[in-house]
Amino acid sequence: MQKKIIILIIGVTIIGVIFLVLRNSNEPTETQSANNQTEKSQEELPMSTAKISAEKIEVVHFHGTHQCWSCITVGEYALKTIKEKFPEEHKNGVIVYKDINGELPENKDIVAKYQASGSSLFVNAIIEGKDNIEEDVTVWRLVSNESQFISYFQNKLNKLLGK
């Protein structure tokens, strides 16, 4: 029994360290960020900062069969934002929400398309028929504050719609 608990603690620690390393490796320092912004033209910027008008947006929440509170809540808040802040776009299919269990074999193609692993939220801004897929990791920091999450996500979707 003690052996199982120790193995579980080690496993959780390893996963936590991997998450932190991956998260920090994607975030440039302030100096790098300032330099990159001045060097790039608007068309070279990632979709979250460039002026874009997407013809369609797919918000895809990937998760496993068994979800923790944070994983469930990220999906719920994303869908709530879409339904409450973009009812027309949602009704007309301009903004589509997909909830995907990545562990099911029938979802292997969409998991591969998004290169999803574990619980994650992706936004695909389809511009001129081309996918512009981006994982949104900021939502995980906002999951404990519904109003901040909704405000952030609403602003993100507004920018992608060119509003």
pLDDT for 71-124, tens place per residue? 999 999 999 999 999 999 999 999 999 999 999 999 999 999 999 988 999 999
What pLDDT, on the 0 to 100 scale, is given for residue 15? 73
Determine the 3-state secondary structure of 96 from DSSP: strand
**Mean pLDDT across 127-141:** 95
Mean of per-residue pLDDT scores for the chain: 83
CA angle 104, 64, 85 (to 5 degrees): 105
The answer to whether 89 touches 154, Cβ cutoff 8 Å, is no
What pLDDT, on the 0 to 100 scale, is given for residue 104? 96
CA 129 to chain centre: 21
What pLDDT, on the 0 to 100 scale, is given for residue 8? 63
The predicted model scores a pTM of: 0.68
